[in-house]
Structure 1
Amino acid sequence: MRAVPAKPPARPDGTGSADPAAGDAPATGVTGADIEELARRLLDPVSRLIRADLRRGRERAGRLYDRGR
């Protein structure tokens, strides 16, 4: 028996699939460039938070320096 991929549901207005990755523009008006810009803007603050959390974990464990690097 072969598996058949499910067909994506049609939109209520009948214009095609509801999947924004299928080539249609998303209903929210957010473009790929907007998402890329947001990701770039979030990268520094999130990486800073992750580094601080790792540093606190090393302090709690009694190892102030990451010797693996």
Structure 2
Amino acid sequence: MQPVLFTISPIYNGWQVHDELRCRDWYERLDDAVASAGSLAQLRHALTGQPTAVAVSTVYGEAVIRLRHG
């Protein structure tokens, strides 16, 4: 089963967190964005049982998986 992805992308002078459906919050620091996305991913996994992951997109278009649940 493919994990539900929470993606963090560089935007303006910070980082945008979004899931498969919508953009969520914007953060100045990457660590704050990863912590927020990690909490969302962990909660989604706990409530649905679906595997989740947090990916950080780079300015070069690559994505790096930072966290996995399930």
TM over 0.5: no
Structure richer in helix, relative to its length: 1
Structure richer in strand, relative to its length: 2
Q: TM-score, normalised by structure 1?
A: 0.30
Rg larger for: 1
